[in-house]
Amino acid sequence: MILSSRIDTPIGPLVLLAREGILLMLEFEDAEPRIEREMNTRFRGEGHQPTDDPFGLASRIRSYFAGDLSAIEGSDTDGGGTEFQKRVWAELKRIPCRVTISYAELARRLGDPKAVRAVGTANGRNPIAIVVLCHRVIGADGSLTGYGGGLHRKRWLLVHEGALLDV
């Protein structure tokens, strides 16, 4: 059974879905089309049971927002996806806190420097915000580009983590 929770954060409510201790989805509540797509395709309309803190995962997210940046490290995740997407998402989880990398660097780390667009597409399809660290990927020129939750949230997360100055 899928357990769900709604988590209030400084940058908007998050919807969390988990099963057997594994984080399946973490999306901003206002991303209704993305949430609906996941529910209808990936989970095929499977129901979910609302609860306060499925498997302690909501507590870990709250701790992260309260300043314990390491609270989300080591969380088991399963975002579904293709084999390529899984490789991209696994590499995203390896980006250290307070560090940003470019899409080109991410492609290079995956062994295919020419796959920048494919990496960007996979990054954008990541259904597990914050924990699968897609917000730590920026443009080659240092600009904040592409984030499903909105660039204002990406900026907030990077400032929160100390990867960007609050200017």
- 7-56 pLDDT, tens digit per residue, is 999 999 999 999 999 999 999 999 888 888 888 888 887 788 999 999 99
Q: Residue 167: is its pLDDT beyond 60?
A: no
Please report the pLDDT score of residue 166 as a whole number.
63
Q: What is the pLDDT of residues 79-119, one digit of tens each?
A: 999 999 999 999 999 999 999 999 999 999 999 999 999 99
Q: What CATH number belongs to 2-72? A: 3.30.160
> Is residue 80 a contact partner of residue 127, using CB atoms and an 8 Å limit?
yes
Across 138-147, average pLDDT: 88
- Show which residues are catalytic: 134
User: 10 Å Cβ neighbour count for 78?
Assistant: 17
Beta 48-50 vs 2-7: how paired, if at all? parallel
What global pTM score does this model have? 0.92
Question: 32 or 127, which is more confident?
Answer: 127
- Candidates 3.40.630.40, 1.20.140.10, 1.10.10.10, 3.50.50.60; correct CATH number of 83-161? 1.10.10.10
Distance CA 76, CA 55 (A): 11
- Domain boundaries in the chain? 2-72, 83-161
